[in-house]
Structure 1
Amino acid sequence: MSRFVTRTTARAGRRLRQGAALLACVAGLWSALAWGWDKDRLTESAAKLSPKTQAAVKAMIQMAERAAAMPDERERLTAINTFFNTRVAFRDDIETWGQIDYWATPLELLDKGAGDCEDYAIAKYMSLLSAGVPQARLRLVYVRAQFQGRPQAHMVLAYYAQPESEPLILDNINPEIRPASLRPDLTPVFSFNGEGLWSGVGATTAGNPLVRLSLWRDLLAKAKAEGF
């Protein structure tokens, strides 16, 4: 069984239940996001920024609309994964935002033209929802990644064709979409979407899920105000 078919353990149960309660608190915010973005409001939000940002947001909307028309979900994954991997430069939050950990909305990401792993994963997630991919098939996954010979906390987006199937991994480090079994460099720690929170494997965490989900709550509030 793939390591990315995650399951709750007794050791993680209490923290996951607390996280599930937090997810329930943001369900009202999420319900608007789950159906895609408000193009008019998003365009208005972009108009307050630079012409370059306006053009990037327009391109994102058009890209998601083209992806929505694709009959094969794998093609949708490829279109959206490629869009953000090629348009956005990787940069740490401390350099971009002056903070150790900041979760940017897709609008903020395109305005800066740079972001870290969470920002890539979030932008792909929201774009895929807007392109018609069901929320239940997508999870934001914190992993322990082996990168340049050392482990580090990282986030990817996982796509599950079926609940218990091996997921495909969308990543900014490795731009090729691969099944989880072909990404032995990644060990899942925990994952979430707007519907739930799941425990991964491995003793080394990628941070407190409750703290991370507080960032998720704040992100959804920002995104909703922008038109997502």
Structure 2
Amino acid sequence: MISANSDESALFLLLFLRTLLLRLCLSRLSFLPATIGQKPLRLLVLFGIFCCQPVFAFALFSPAPDDHLYQRWQALLETPAGQLNTAEKLRLVDEFVNQVTYSPDRIEQGMTDYWLSPDEFFRLGRGDCEDFAIAKFFGLLALGVPEASLKLVYGRLPETGLYHVLLQYQPDSGAEPLLLDNLTLTPTVASKRTDFKPLYSFDRNSVWFMDGWQSKVRSSTPLNTGQWQRVLSQQSAGREWLALR
């Protein structure tokens, strides 16, 4: 755990580096020919520095990589497909992922919402609700669970007003969905989750708008958010996040 004093020191360092970078960049602009127009360039530099602040903050405040947890996860995914039945795969993946420390998104540290890929999630050793669900989704795919039976579900917790993401497993349209959630110790049938209101669900290829736990309207295009597309890109390329290497 990071102490209050270390948080303040890190924040001071971040602000100092940002100010230093800003002064350096603006001083360099004085050497440009007047015909280029320095005012637009100054504004562009300012915009770039402030846009990069979340990346600096994420690197500063993130804990050290947890390679041991990451290696154990990789070992689990290498389990021979025929060694486990579907129920065992669901239970093992849910239990393993849920042992990771829950940490609300870096909004507390001045950052916008950031979806972690499984590699990032396990190397950091902590994550928000969508990070748990995403890790379970790709973990079960790696163990041979059909994607047609898996959906990431975005919804709302009415009692708190917070939005939440979990993983739904439904082997066929007539079966009651089973929910894998970091808020529960074990997979739970949907009828027992009266504390969660689903809004829409998605996988790698489609989005469904939901009425209760029924998927009513399907869009045959992937969820088009920068966060989800970034995770998909990393998974398809088999890359690890450069900053965690």
Identify the TM-score tier after normalising by the shorter chain: 0.5 to 0.7
SS in 1 for 2:112: coil
Equivalent position to 2:66, from 50, 53, 78:
53
Equivalent position to 1:103, from 76, 97, 115:
115
SS in 2 for 1:66: coil
Report the Cα distance in structure 2 between the residues aligned to 1:105 and 1:82, rounded to whole angstroms.
18
Higher mean C-alpha displacement, 74-83 vs 89-98: 89-98
Equivalent position to 2:140, from 121, 125, 128:
128
Report the Cα distance in structure 2 between the residues aligned to 1:217 and 1:201, rounded to whole angstroms.
25
Aligned in 2, Cα 1:72/1:119: closer, same or farther, shift over 3 Å?
Answer: same
Pairing 1:188–2:189 present: no
Aligned twin of 1:73: 86
Equivalent position to 1:176, from 169, 182, 186:
186
Give aligned-pair identity as a percent. 33
Report the Cα distance in structure 1 between the residues aligned to 2:132 and 2:106, rounded to whole angstroms.
16
Deviation at 1:77, TM superposition (A): 0.4
Higher mean C-alpha displacement, 133-142 vs 174-183: 174-183
Aligned twin of 1:167: 177
Deviation at 1:161, TM superposition (A): 1.2
Aligned twin of 1:154: 164
Report the Cα distance in structure 2 between the residues aligned to 1:127 and 1:192, rounded to whole angstroms.
16
Q: Which amino acid aligns with 1:104?
A: L
Aligned twin of 2:96: 83
CA contact (8 A) 1:141 1:191 kept: yes
Larger Rg belongs to: 2
Aligned in 2, Cα 1:161/1:96: closer, same or farther, shift over 3 Å?
Answer: farther
Report the Cα distance in structure 1 between the residues aligned to 2:107 and 2:207, rounded to whole angstroms.
30
Higher mean C-alpha displacement, 123-132 vs 64-73: 64-73
Deviation at 1:63, TM superposition (A): 1.2
Report the Cα distance in structure 2 between the residues aligned to 1:167 and 1:99, rounded to whole angstroms.
34
CA contact (8 A) 1:67 1:76 kept: no
Report the Cα distance in structure 1 between the residues aligned to 2:107 and 2:124, rounded to whole angstroms.
11
Aligned in 2, Cα 1:96/1:220: closer, same or farther, shift over 3 Å?
Answer: farther
Aligned in 2, Cα 1:180/1:70: closer, same or farther, shift over 3 Å?
Answer: farther
Deviation at 1:62, TM superposition (A): 1.3
Report the Cα distance in structure 1 between the residues aligned to 2:129 and 2:224, rounded to whole angstroms.
14
Report the Cα distance in structure 1 between the residues aligned to 2:68 and 2:93, rounded to whole angstroms.
17
Aligned twin of 1:39: none
